[in-house]
Amino acid sequence: MSEFRISLFGLILIAYLVLGTMYAVLTPAWQAPDEPAHYNYVRYLATESGFPELVSGCYDQAYLEQLTTRRFPPGLPINRLCYEFHQPPLYYLLAAPIFKLSNGSLIALRLFSLGLGMGVVVLAFFIGHAIFPEQQAIALGAMAFVSFVPMHLAMLASVNNDALAELSLAVLLLCLARRLLADQTPSTLNNVWLGILLGLGLVTKTTVYIVIPLVAVTLWLASNRKVGPQKNQVDWAALARQCLIIYGLALLIALPWYLRNSALYGRFDILGLARHDEVVVGQLRTADYIADVGWRAYLGDFVRTTFHSFWGQFGWMAVPMDSRSYLFLSLLTLIALGGLVGYWRRQTIKVDRSADDILSIGQSKALVVMGLTVIFMVLAYLGYNLTFKQFQGRYLFPALIPLGLFFTLGLQEGLARRWTGWLVAGLGVVFGWVVVSSIARGELDKWALLITGMALIVMVGRAVLARYWFVPTPWLVAACYVLLGLLALVSPFWFIIPELSF
């Protein structure tokens, strides 16, 4: 890396640590989703012998609502919240010494999670760099995306096992990407390490389980190499040996936990999920919600709340950001999605491509695995919502690194000069819609006009002044992430502290 890019890498990392520390310190106690239940798991391991059991009474919907609506007053203890006791144990085992050394300090445990999140931020860069070694702006963009999504910062700066789950998945994704990009056949030691990492992921959180099929897909793609001008050949015997080593080692690591759960919760409940569903009595079920509001309202609420809570809906989903923030994020998302469509078009039709845009076979396969990561995570999110009403975009965060890669690719393409006319036209339509809707309501939406108007002026100015002053696309992408970082900076003061402080 050049010295300039190393400086950007360090600047983003420092910004993440400063922002994350700010969230950890300024967020009122227990005002992060499920934080008391995760904290109680750590406390149990630090003060008791053995692992906890999830039992009836660990979840009390009425008491939980009382705590959240009254902002966790000191007179109401959190000790009764233990509905996370079914979770795999690795994060809590690592956090227990921190609990002992800090005498149970909530801030210390939050900073421990933040430190794990730093590994996720660093790995976002290395995954991007592995796939696009000649376009390090993409790696830096993915790193910035992971660092500056406000809700992601809020979750990484709280006590829960998400940070370790994301770190585990990130390490595995880096290993899978490098395997697909490598020219030589991986060694047995490489397979052993991959099996160990997968096993550790299995005892971290069930969200990591999406990597099980990803490993299989990667092994097949890596084995599917051309041996002639027209055909591919898979060495099925070698593939079977690799699977045996990797999955065998992973199962060996996770097996004691599975056996313990099987004996405790029932023969086939090796993850404790059936017990969890029995315990969380009172949690709103999807079927009941649809029966109450209907499919149309359900789908609208699902899309809107998922989008809002992915970017920032703080506390226990009680504090959304304001409309101006969501409008800015909506514009960014639409540009990124449109850019991705354009990027896919150029790759498939093979038009308007420079040498840097031509993907190698290894790069294409690595992007397939990244795309599958997002798809599997979305399917897991949809599957969870088949049973419970849980419109929480944070459940997609295990796939945040691939999402950051694609988001950066989309922004880089959508803001490229070749699409300036389309972008200006699109922003003009949005600006016109804001004006018409404001007139129809009889009230001028000043912030919406300002945000869309400024975006339109910038893009028109870029087009008009192009022959006199060339603005590189990476500068515009960097400006987008600077604005996202500023939103992350002000969010505690605009939303969290005013609404959640006791």
Tokens representing residue 168 in the block:
């585990």
Of 259, 194, 262, the C-alpha closest to 222 is 194
Q: Distance between CA 157 and CA 27 in Å, rounded?
A: 9
pTM score above 0.85: yes
User: What is the tens place of the pLDDT at every residue in 163-176?
Assistant: 999 999 999 999 99
Q: What is the DSSP letter of 225?
A: E
Distances (CA, A) of 382 to 140, 157, 212, 241: 30, 26, 18, 34
**CA pair distance 114, 119, nearest whole angstrom:** 9
Classify 444 in phi/psi space as left (phi over 0), alpha (psi -120 to 50) or beta.
beta
**Residue 225, phi then psi, degrees to nearest 5:** -110, 150
**With a cut of 50, which residues of the chain have pLDDT below it?**
226-230
**Predicted local distance difference test score (pLDDT) of residue 352:** 65
156, 481, 400, 366: CA torsion to nearest 10 = -140
- Taking a C-beta distance cutoff of 8 angstroms, is the pair 418, 338 a contact? no
Structural domain spans, the chain: 3-414+472-500
Q: Which tens digit of pLDDT belongs to each residue from 77-104?
A: 999 999 999 999 999 999 999 999 999 9
Separation of CA 232 from chain center: 35
- Residue 161: CB atoms within 10 A of its CB come to 27
Separation CA 302–CA 490 (nearest Å): 27
Q: Look-up: residue for tokens 């800015």?
A: 328
**Of 181, 195, 113, nearest to 153 (Cα)?**
113
At 159 the three-state DSSP class reads coil
Token pair for 147: 């660092």
pLDDT of residue 433: 87
CA distances from 304 to 294, 309, 393 (A): 16, 9, 10
Q: What is the C-alpha to C-alpha distance for residues 195 and 211, in angstroms, rounded to an integer?
A: 11
Tokens read off for 236: 């099925």
- Cβ atoms of residues 8 and 140 within 8 Å: yes
Does residue 14 contact residue 149 with C-beta atoms inside 8 Å?
no
What 3-state DSSP class applies to 311? helix
pLDDT score recorded for residue 187:
84
pLDDT at 150: 98
Please answer whether residues 54 and 279 qualify as being in contact, where contact means their C-beta atoms are separated by less than 8 angstroms: yes
What is the pLDDT, as a whole number, of residue 387? 86
Which residues contact residue 164 at a Cβ distance below 8 angstroms, ignoring those fewer than 6 apart? 90, 91, 94, 113, 116, 204, 205
CB atoms within 10 A of CB 40: 22
- Note the pLDDT of residue 440: 81
What's the confidence (pLDDT) of residue 224? 72
313: nearest Cα among 493, 75, 103, 154: 154
Task: Give φ, ψ of 469 to 5 degrees.
Answer: -145, 110
What 8-state DSSP symbol labels residue 359?
Answer: P
